[in-house]
Amino acid sequence: MRNTARWAAALGLTAAAVCGPLTGAAVAAPGAAPSSLYAPSALVLTTGHGSDAATATPERAVTLSCAPTPSGTHPDAARACAELRGSGGDFSALKPAEGVWCNKLYDPVVVTVQGVWQGQRVSYERSFGNACVKDSIVGGVFAF
């Protein structure tokens, strides 16, 4: 019994010396390697009627994550992620599809994007003349 107590005490001291004190919280070392192979890409997209986000009430919101695989509540996450990768994550580079005709009825729709794209913080807002113009953007990033 006495040897068992010595063995347990020696094992405990060795663990404390090698692993450090057990405090219940993990502390990351500065410059530590990231915990994932992929840069984070997680976005929240909202849409609402109005000319800007400050005055528009969000009517719909979806999430979009593109790494390591497309996911989220976006109705076509795979297509939206492919389009964003093609534009390098530049939302202003997303253009309307050719051959799409929309009426000229002015019923403004605003889209916002908040989150992280490939490790970089994103904050984007864009107003469209109406929902048809918004939905005409190639790739369907804003079609939700």
CATH number of the domain residue 78 falls in: 3.30.350.10
Q: Is the dihedral of CA 104, 110, 115, 119 positive or negative?
A: positive
Parts of the chain with a pLDDT under 50: 1-29, 32-33
Q: What does the pLDDT read at residue 12?
A: 40
- Domain membership of residue 35 (yes or no) is no
Domain holding 61, by residue range, is: 42-140
- Domain membership of residue 19 (yes or no) is no
Q: What does the pLDDT read at residue 7?
A: 39
- Domain membership of residue 25 (yes or no) is no
Element (H, E) at 13: helix 2-19
- Domain membership of residue 9 (yes or no) is no
- Domain membership of residue 108 (yes or no) is yes
- Helix ranges (H only) for 40-139 are 77-86, 131-135
- Count of the separate structural domains present in the chain: 1
Output b/e per residue, 45-78; b: 16+ Cβ within 10 A. bbbbebeebeebeeeeebebbbbeebebebebbe
- Domain membership of residue 37 (yes or no) is no
- Domain membership of residue 14 (yes or no) is no
- Domain membership of residue 12 (yes or no) is no
Peptide bond into 68 cis (omega under 30): yes
